[in-house]
Structure 1
Amino acid sequence: MPIAGPWIQLAVKPTAFDSDDRGTWLIFDGLLQAAGAALLIAGIATSGGDEEPALSILPSAGPHHAGLSLAGRF
């Protein structure tokens, strides 16, 4: 679960002191996910100009694959 996952895992982790630094990495991971979400929201909220955001679904094909791709301008 993005953003909340590391904090939930930290809450249910055993409270005994472990020699591994799992708690430290969970805190670091949670902070990085929160920063990424904040930057994503800030990027969406602030437009680069007078252009309207555009989203396109395009066919994608190659020698070893076929499918759809999603392209956007924000």
Structure 2
Amino acid sequence: MDWDLIEHFKIEVQFCDDHVLHVEYVTDHIRGLRKARLERRWYTKQHIGNGSFGDVLLQVQREGHRDIADRAVKVI
């Protein structure tokens, strides 16, 4: 098994009280960094629905008081 490939697609996540923190490592060509740490905080905005396989939540990524990105998350 190629462990480098597994490390490349590994997702670092921290579950906090009011948000979920996703950490990615990306290449920053401007600063010349090979692995710049990028943190994204996702806040649950509302419950969208549910089904036989779990609930679906709407999560938003905020910058200040503005929502800059949305995503639907299935909770199993």
Task: Give the number of the structure with larger relative contact order, counting CA–CA contacts within 8 Å between residues 6 or more apart.
Answer: 1
The alignment's TM-score, normalised by the length of structure 2, stands at 0.29
Q: Which has the higher strand share?
A: 2
Q: Which of 1 and 2 has greater Rg?
A: 1
The alignment's TM-score, normalised by the length of structure 1, stands at 0.29
